[in-house]
Structure 1
Amino acid sequence: MVISADASSDRSGTAAGDRAADVRARAAGVVRRALTFWRRSIQARVVVSVVLLSALVIGIVGWFLVQQTRDGLLEQREQAAVGEATQVTAEAQDALRGVSPTDTDVAPQLTELVNPIIELGDTRDFAVVLTGPAGDARIADGGVQYTSQLDTSSVPTSLEDHFAEPFGATTAYTYTELRRTDDDGNVVSSEPAIVVGSQVRLPADSKTYTLYYLFPLTDEARTLNLLTNAMITAASLLVLLVAGITWLVTRQVVTPVRMARRVAERLAAGQLQERLRVSGEDDLARLATSFNQMATNLQRQIRQLEELSRVQRRFVADVSHELRTPLTTVRMAGDVLHDARKDFDPATARAAELLQTELDRFEGLLADLLEISRFDAGAAVLEIDDVNLVDVAHRIVSATGALARQSGCRVLVEAPAHPCLAEADVRRVERIVRNLVTNAIDHAESGDIVIRVDGDAHAAAIAVRDHGVGLGPGESALVFNRFWRADPARARTSGGTGLGLSISLEDTHLHGGWLQAWGRPGEGAQFRLTLPRHVGGVLRSSPVPLVPDDSREPVR
């Protein structure tokens, strides 16, 4: 098999890119886990905060101590260097006073002056440079005498400028770098030093010469380095000790909190028997005791509410079921009376018609109560099928057409030409839409009622828009409550029971959908049903806006 170089290089590049992507993905995962741990762990945040603050405080204190020690060492060394240089210069000046006035040979006198000082410097570990006469010669001009293997540029020019005037300057000092050379003149070492300058008058020519004493600060630098290292070591150990102490202290506080969190999670999951273990008599123990008392009270209240709810559901179901038998008998008698109403006088005939109407409403109320009891008992189940919401809208329009004409309204459908499908229980969806439309007919004052259908890749929606009395502020959250009415004085045109929107909301929740209401006084209302396209889907948005396009409120 022959493999081209281009193909091989392409595969190599692809493999390298995959490895790089894997590395980036792992790094991103590590960062996410670290951020998650940081957000969730109060112990980690406390320990890190205390360690950072401790390191800052220890660093400031350590820097201050090192600076104070450095200043003290340098001040002591300055005093010793100036004192020694002054003493050596004074002794050299005294020796020059014993020279014969007739001796005018400058070179021998300079040699006799500087050689003893150089020898003394070798024994006391300082270097010497002799230059002059002052004002006539500089170290860079040459002709100076100095300690062997000393780089004369170690003497700063600023100090030379200080001694430029003949015998016009007092003893002065400054800091410098003491550089030493090999036999070839190459600099082989450098160390911090103090250079002290002092002047003497040579009897041979009565001119002023300057002596520079260079005292190395090797011992002081070594002491300062030792102190700095000791401070760093002690600070590191102290920070670690503070971190450990903080971790232990916060653990004593955080551990009971974590236990309380786990117990609270179990209580929220329904394990009402869970309790915290109480040990000791401190504040945390008292907190655990109070928590357990709260959990006990909650368990008692929840059980009482569950028992009350069970009794209530059983009562509603039993009453609804037991009423069916007498209702059937009353219905049979009512049907007989209603069929024979033509033989009655007008008042009796009207009473028979009213009886028939109220029996119909009573049967609807019983059916709704039984449905509500099934929801409360958690016994409601879905019969899933592919439902075309466009067909549902048209069927509801046909079913409510007579009621709409009776109220002087028209029900219109705005839907796309293509089907709008969703996996749902068609009976429950039709009941939701029918309840929304009949509710709109009940509250419509004029204009058309529009059913708008639309869908996208994730959701399908139906919105019912009316131009009736609308909803006041806060009423959109109450409209789905059982037996709630926006206008108690308004008659129910459709003969509703007051449970239709509540049942519709339960049907919607059973599908995992949204049922929302919008309304403004004088602008009417709009109810929107949004269902996921597939069972178990999660809704993030609706294809139909909740606020209608003809509203004065911005659409969202």
Structure 2
Amino acid sequence: MLRIDPVLAPLRRTGVWAAVRRSRWWQALLRGPVRSLYRVWLLLRRAWRRNLQLRVVSITLALSGLLVGSFGVLVSVSITDGLLGDKQKDAHRDVTAAAEYAIQQLQVGDPNDPALRKYVGEVLTRLASEQSGSSRAEVAIVPHGQLQVTEDAAPDRSGTLDVIKSAELERLRAGVQAGDIMFQYVTADPDGDGMRPFLVYATRISIPAGTLGLYYLFPLDAEVVTADRVTYTVTVTGFTLVLLLAVLAALVTRMVVRPVRLAARTAQRLSAGLLDQRMEVRGEDDLARLAASFNQMAANLQRQIIRLEEMSRLQRRFTSDVSHELRTPLTTVRMAADLIFSSRDEFEPATARSAEILQGELDRFESLLTDLLEISRFDAGFAVLDAEPTDLVAVVGRVTDRLESLAERCGSPLEVDVPDIPVIVEVDPRRVERILRNLVGNAVEHGEGAPVRVTVRADESAVAVTVRDHGIGLKPGEEKLVFNRFWRADPSRARQTGGTGLGLSISVEDARLHGGWLEAWGAPGEGAQFRLTLPMRSGDRLVSAPLPLVPEDVAIPIDGAARTEVAP
């Protein structure tokens, strides 16, 4: 089937195709018959792509039609050539015998002798009388040069003579005069019964009075009827054979495709969560073994999924229970630690330092418990989005203000590029602020003393926030791992805040809860950039982002090895 997709692909990439489709002349062209044909072509293309049985039957029909057609043409040509070959042999034999007979009868030396005319008429009468039936040949003797004869004693040959003297047989007449035995196929009407095919066979008769041309017009009616009958028989037989092959291919393909379709539908139901779906096993052939193996695979998957779900449920319950159970002793320890921390000035230096370390580790432990509880809510499906109209510019300002002191300690100043007007978005401000706090905090820690830039852009359907650092960046493949739980790019590096390793995992879940994207890009020595994209209205579907994922100041290699986009 003709495919125009490779032809239109460059136009689609450049946007020319979209402009053409929106133009008035294209819309006018698609109306009426052209539009109907285009729709039919689309339906046929869709059926061709989706229906394996249709493709097999169509290919079988085309190939068998080509083979049977070629064989039919070969048979028809061979039979026709055989019939004409036999006709030529018989004609050659008859003309040779007639020429010998005419030479014997026309032994007259004087061209003006009246006996010559008489003998020519008798020879024609004799030769014509030997032809009988529907395949009776027309015979004519034509003088050459100055020789003049009449055919008074012969039947009327005016029609035959007109055919012989026609311009179509000029080459044949020249060959006969040169002494060759010539033949030619011609369509003529020598007797007024309509145009018919003839085989014209001729030879030269040399007599003492001069030279004559003996011409035979053998009708090919019987041979044409036989050839037409053979062609008709071969055509009908070939057409019937092609149809039978197509039907046979459809039946055989259906026997194979039907179990495959059942397997596809069963697999779709399994993927939809209906783990009890199975295929029907019939017989003991390869398809039956395929169905049995498929059912065994489905049963194993069902058992494995049930076991994993049970383990996941127990893990979530364990995490939630442990987090809740640790809250009570942590509160007690926190109260005691706060009391000790507030009195640290009265202690010795070593004891005061221990109180400060205890306070910091308790803060980290409490943050870890909070993150674990949040992760358990996401795993259990209990996370709720409290969306409300929020100025994203104000949220970015609060986050950068709170992390300004950390940026100063790390030597990575914060640069903020936001619109001059508020950007109102329907989001959960607490969750968005947590996402930005994690992104900016990680960028500051990995900034290697270089500035960290936060950019906000919005369009009609989406808003995007990018956080760009110029640190060591991410190695190839790490941009796929950065959102995993408890994963760190370099565990040996000294940390300023002592994170839990769950910040980006929680950020991804918060972005998904909004229906947004959280993506990462990084390259060694080029730093990293994270992009948060959220819909302007809660519940809308994202199709694009106002900001690119790859920074504009990065030279992208031709092979693209240094850029990878991840949309968790």
Q: TM-score range by the shorter chain?
A: 0.7 to 0.9
Cα gap change, 1:101 to 1:66, in 2 (>3 Å): closer
Shift of 1:219: 0.7
Match of 2:3 in 1: none
List per-residue Cα deviations over 1:405-436 (Å, max 9, x = no partner). Answer: 23233212112223334332222111111110
Indicate the residue corresponding to 1:53 in structure 2. 63
| Residue of structure 1 in register with 2:19 after alignment | none
Separation in structure 2 between the aligned mates of residue 421 and residue 158 of structure 1, nearest angstrom: 97
Q: Tell me which of 510, 518, 529 is aligned to 1:515.
A: 518
CA distance in 2, matches of 1:294, 1:316: 32
Q: Give 2:194's aligned amino acid.
A: S
Q: Which residue of 1 aligns with 2:536?
A: 533
- Asked whether the 8 Å contact 1:470–1:522 carries over to 2, the reply is yes
Is the Cα–Cα contact under 8 Å of residues 177 and 213 in structure 2 kept in the other structure?
A: no
Is 1:222 the equivalent of 2:225? yes
Residues 1:149 and 1:161: Cα distance change in structure 2 (over 3 Å): closer
The match for 1:156 is 169
Aligned to 2:194: 189
Alignment of 1:231-250 (within 5 A): 231-250=234-253
Q: Does the 8 A contact of 1:177 with 1:193 survive in 2?
A: yes
Identity of aligned residues (%): 47
2:443 match: 440
**Aligned partners of 1:134 and 1:163 also within 8 Å:** no
Letter in 1 for 2:138: A
Q: Secondary structure at the match of 1:163?
A: helix
Tell me which amino acid in the other structure corresponds to 1:156. Answer: L
Query: 1: CA distance between counterparts of 2:111 and 2:62?
Result: 74
Match of 1:81 in 2: 91
1:475 aligns with 2:499: no
Query: In the alignment, which residue of structure 2 is the partner of 1:90?
Result: 100
Query: How far is 1:28 from its partner?
Result: 3.1
> Secondary structure at the residue paired with 2:70?
helix
Shift in Å, 1:146? 6.3
Write the distance in 2 (CA, Å) between the matches of 1:368 and 1:135: 125
Matched, 1:327 2:338: no
The amino acid across from 2:99 in the alignment is T
Tell me the distance in 2 between the aligned counterparts of 1:172 and 1:267.
Answer: 81
Provide the C-alpha distance between the structure 2 equivalents of 1:492 and 1:145, rounded to a whole number of angstroms.
Answer: 126
2:138 corresponding residue in structure 1: 127
Match of 1:452 among 455, 466, 477: 455
Q: TM-score w.r.t. structure 1 length?
A: 0.88
Match of 2:270 in 1: 267
Cα pair distance change 1:212/1:451, threshold 3 Å = same
Is residue 29–residue 35 contact of structure 2 (8 Å, CA) maintained in 1?
Answer: no
Relative to structure 1, the CA distance from residue 126 to residue 422 in structure 2 (aligned partners, 3 Å threshold; closer, same or farther) is farther
For residues 437-478 of structure 1, the C-alpha deviation after alignment (integer angstroms, 9 at most, x for no partner) is 111122222122110111223321111111223222221111
Q: Distance in 2 between matches of 1:337 and 1:68?
A: 113
Note if contact 1:276-1:291 (Cα within 8 Å) is conserved in structure 2.
Answer: yes
Change (3 A) 1:208 1:48: same
- Superposition TM-score, scaled by structure 2 size: 0.86
Partners in 1 of 2:28 and 2:556 — Cα distance? 51
1:100-499 aligned at under 5 Å gives the runs 103-104=113-114, 106-118=116-128, 120-121=130-131, 125-134=136-145, 147-150=157-160, 151-152=162-163, 153=165, 156-165=169-178, 169-180=179-190, 182=192, 189-201=194-206, 206-499=209-502
Shift of 1:351: 1.5
| 1:149 partner SS | helix
Contact 1:193 1:215 (8 Å CA) reproduced = yes
Superposed CA RMSD: 2.8
1:64 aligns with 2:64: no
Distance 1:535 1:131, change over 3 A: farther
Alignment deviations for residues 462-512 of structure 1 (CA, whole Å, 9 cap, x no partner) = 111112232222211111111111121223312321110110111112222
Asked if the contact 1:70/1:224 (under 8 Å) is kept, the reply is yes
The amino acid that maps onto 2:39 is: G
Name stretches of at least 5 consecutive residues in structure 1 with no aligned partner: 1-13, 139-143, 183-187
More off after superposition, 87-96 vs 457-466: 87-96
Encode CA deviations 1:235-279: one digit per residue, 9 max, x unaligned: 000000001111111111111111111101111111110111111
- CA shift in 2, pair 1:536/1:136, >3 Å: farther
